Amino acid sequence: MADDFKNDASAWITRFKALFANGSYADVLGFVQFILRQKDYISPDFWLKIEMALRDGCAAYRVLDEDTVIPITNEQELGCGLIR
How many of the other CB atoms lie within 10 Å of CB of 50? 22
pTM of the predicted structure, to 2 decimals: 0.78
- Looking at residue 28, its pLDDT comes to 96
- Considering Cα of 69, then 70, then 72, then 77, what sign does the dihedral take? negative
- Looking at residue 73, its pLDDT comes to 84
pLDDT, mean of each 10-residue run, the chain (84 residues): 76 93 95 96 95 90 94 72 48
- Looking at residue 2, its pLDDT comes to 61
Which residues, including other chains, have CB under 8 Å from residue 61's CB and lie 6 or more apart? 29, 54, 69, 70, 71, 72
- Looking at residue 82, its pLDDT comes to 47
